[in-house]
Amino acid sequence: MNYILIGMMGSGKSTVGKLLAERLDLKFIDTDTMIEEMQGLVIARIFELYGETHFRNLESALVEKLSCIDNAVISTGGGLVMNPCNTILLKNMGKVIYLKGSISQLSKNLEGVTGNRPMLKGNSLDVLLTVRAPIYENTADVIVEIDDMTSSDVLSHILDEINK
């Protein structure tokens, strides 16, 4: 079984994903980190040199590549679900968990860590969330609220939900 974490930037997918993988003794995969390693460039530089469309193509190629793995927790980039082909593959790969945060919580979590997040240049978090929220909700098997929670609170909620 795989567990796939989706949600906005700042929702804690990578932090919680690592905790979940440790707890369930599964591999941890972070799509952004994999793309950075495969390209030898940080995300911000990929956007700068080749643009968003190229980054989205890299994301989709990676999802296809990952589609046959098992026993992993996969943390996904916040915009990955915007391509419906990716969401179909993700849903077939395992249980999809949406880490749902309010704008104020997400903004708070992103304070001081927006450097490698090129989507925040020229896009408001608010608009991104409004557009993406229905897609996150429709794709998810499980929705976990993150507002005012620590990472270990979020982990406990996920464990409760997946053990139901």
Q: Using CB under 6 A as the criterion, which residues of the chain lie in contact with ligand S3P when the complex forms?
A: 9, 13, 32, 43, 77-79, 117-119
Compute the distance between CA of residue 75 and CA of residue 17 in angstroms, rounded to an integer: 6
Q: Which residue, 27 or 160, is less far from ligand S3P as judged by CB?
A: 27
- Residue of minimal Cβ distance to ligand S3P: 77
In the complex, the smallest distance separating the C-beta of residue 29 from ligand S3P, rounded to whole angstroms, is 12
Q: Which residue, 108 or 160, is less far from ligand S3P as judged by CB?
A: 108
CB 94 within 8 A of CB 1: yes
In the complex, the smallest distance separating the C-beta of residue 47 from ligand S3P, rounded to whole angstroms, is 7
Phi and psi of 70, rounded to 5°?
-140, 160
Nearest to 64, CA basis, from 43, 41, 90: 90
In the complex, the smallest distance separating the C-beta of residue 43 from ligand S3P, rounded to whole angstroms, is 5
Nearest to 123, CA basis, from 29, 52, 50: 52
Q: Which residue, 79 or 94, is less far from ligand S3P as judged by CB?
A: 79
Q: Which residue, 25 or 158, is less far from ligand S3P as judged by CB?
A: 158
Compute the distance between CA of residue 15 and CA of residue 7 in angstroms, rounded to an integer: 13
Strands 72-75, 2-6: pairing kind:
parallel
In the complex, the smallest distance separating the C-beta of residue 40 from ligand S3P, rounded to whole angstroms, is 17
In the complex, the smallest distance separating the C-beta of residue 147 from ligand S3P, rounded to whole angstroms, is 17
Q: Which residue has the tokens 């599964």?
A: 26
- Residue 3 forms beta bridges with which residues? 73, 95
User: Residue 72: in which H helix or E strand, if any?
Assistant: strand 72-75
